[in-house]
Homo-oligomer: A and B are copies of this chain.
């Protein structure tokens, strides 16, 4: 039995709210149960130096947590003067994942920055960030088309992410904080809506995990992410 009473293959209530704030080209509030992340997509008319003159665009991400998004207050990274290792790891993962959604050679020399700011944390902030960030990205690409800066959207495929893990001997999907902090194995799976893997990151927190556990986790992840693709499409149709 999971602490939340959910079935092993059951995700939390997931909600995607578009146009959450008014300034950004794409702005999404995504909720995975009590985990709440604001994902904004901002368009800039320039690219990093290594892309100048190539006609290609770039997608990058930054991640932050409000100091009291967590059970006990975390020091503010801006005040400490640097981003922690966990933050750096997560924002690199988000950026890599979302670049897979777009044909950068058709984006023109624009940079889209996906900011994922966690308002309230309860496990799974990186998978929520990727899933919500992809919706904000679609809105920003459509904005570029609407403004005539691109003829067609360079979107290639949707990207979604979910966590799976082994908790108390059971393979489960979309772990909340209680499960996550006690899981034997924790894995984040990022896929495209065409069925391929973008990234797999699995870590044994305690006992090493076996091939069969890996197979089971991937099976649950595929089902969970397919559900996310449905939710993304519903949100984008509104």
Contacts and interface: CB of A to CB of B under 8 A. Distances in A.
B198 A201 contact: no
A99 to B, nearest CB: 10
Interface in A122-181: none
Chain A interface SS verdict (over half):
mixed
Interface residues of A, number: 64
Contact of A201 (B67, B68, B201): B201
Copies of this chain: 6
Contacts of A15: none
A100 B206 CA distance: 7
A208 B100 contact: yes
A200 B200 contact: yes
A122 to B, nearest CB: 8
A92 interface: yes
B203 A202 contact: no
Interface in A34-67: 34, 36, 38, 40, 42, 44, 62, 64, 66-67
